[in-house]
Amino acid sequence: MAAGEAPNGFFFMENTMLMLKTQGWMNLLRAGLVCGVASPLMASAALVVNPTNDVAQLTSALIAPGSGINLSGSSLVLGGATQQGTYSGFNLAPSSGSTPTLQMQDGVVLTSGGNASVPLSNTVNNYSTALVGGSGYAPLATLASNTTSDANVLRYNFTLAAGLNAVSMQFVFATDEFPTQSVTDIFGFFVDGVNYAKFPSGELISNTPGNPTNFILNPVGGGLYDIEWNGLTQVFTVTGLINSALSEHTLEIAIADTSDSIFDSAVYVSGLKGVTSTTGGGIGDPGTVPEPGSLALLGAAVLGLAASRQRRAK
């Protein structure tokens, strides 16, 4: 092998894709988007990620006792050993400006990269950790109308406590595809096979360079947030309705690369619980959680109504 020759076709292909994908870097420089001035203020609590593929650990970090969700099955589909993990201390305050502090309760992070623990500063425009040969996921491919790879899916089978009709959680989607690349990467929140995760604009939760309002820009050198991701969504609540015709339900929290396998994306998720939705679910529908004891009162009211009807029937 001659000096400088690619050691194998795959390596060469990855580097070629990397070169193609980084051509937007100069445009970013020209646009002045990497000239932000860092402030020494607003240091945030350190984000700590513990990579694991232990489904029990992931589940206990995501679903609190009393959530109204009764699990009958749980699995991690496709995720590599360190591709996902639990996190704590998600409290990203901007160093300057008026963008929001992104704060989430402790939970789970799923990525399309090789390591769920990423640098706590923005080091490069094209953060990419090796995860060779990660499979795609058909529902995400269908959603994205694109090939997917390095998919990572947390899947649950469940029933809900009486009176609940939906599941809800908070999330932040973050990606180093934004804003320089046209490759989307994608996140889905599938309840009984239906994806409920879309931006308020109606676009899928994926890289949307054509609509920068979907993301908060965190440029390299800008020091805005102490994390690697170039683009982050605000903290969203997503709610998905169960299909009442089914006796048992499924939830898939899923992320994947699209088009190619490089340039990582991640989704931080927390506080999965059962709720009551009256608006059809989606982003920005927090649903409601019945007050403790109200389900019993509701049950009593229903029984009372039934008794009342029985009396009238006499």
Residues that bind Ca ion in the complex, under the rule CB under 5 A: 112-113, 122, 127, 131, 150, 176, 185, 228, 230, 257, 261, 263
The CB-of-193 to Ca ion minimum distance in angstroms stands at 24
Closest to Ca ion by CB, 184 or 277: 184
Closest to Ca ion by CB, 266 or 272: 266
- Taking residue 116's Cβ as centre, other Cβ atoms within 10 Å add up to 27
The CB-of-244 to Ca ion minimum distance in angstroms stands at 36
The CB-of-261 to Ca ion minimum distance in angstroms stands at 4
The CB-of-18 to Ca ion minimum distance in angstroms stands at 11
Closest to Ca ion by CB, 228 or 285: 228
Closest to Ca ion by CB, 176 or 252: 176
The CB-of-106 to Ca ion minimum distance in angstroms stands at 23
Closest to Ca ion by CB, 22 or 276: 22
Peptide bond into 179 cis (omega under 30): yes
The CB-of-231 to Ca ion minimum distance in angstroms stands at 9
Closest to Ca ion by CB, 86 or 259: 259
